[in-house]
Structure 1
Amino acid sequence: MVVNFKVFKKCSPNNMITLYMNRRDFVDSVTQVEPIDGIVVLDDEYVRQNRK
């Protein structure tokens, strides 16, 4: 059995923050928002530099 997933990737201009999501479109009604599934990857150096 083959499982196929489409993953959308978006990076910050400095490539320190990367977002992976399973879909691009989300429906936002006034009372509720669809659940958002994804992963945020932060560069270790970036986190250490900006930690206060």
Structure 2
Amino acid sequence: MSEPDEERVVVFDDELEILPDTTSDEYGAGWGESAEQEERSRMEELLGDVPPHWA
């Protein structure tokens, strides 16, 4: 017979990763882009992101 839940020893493993914070499909490679294309598109996005009064 097993022990009651109050007496059961539970060990928490902080290093266990059940789900990653960011999955591979959130990056360009998940959409078929190379790392160079991803970097270039990100740079274009940052350069195009200007305050409204600049436009």
Q: TM-score range by the shorter chain?
A: under 0.3
Give the structure with higher Rg (CA): 2
More strand as a share of residues:
1
Structure with the bigger percentage of helix: 2
Provide TM-score, normalisation by structure 1.
0.21
Identify which of structures 1 and 2 has the higher relative contact order when contacts are C-alpha pairs closer than 8 Å and 6+ apart. Answer: 1
TM-score by length of 2: 0.20
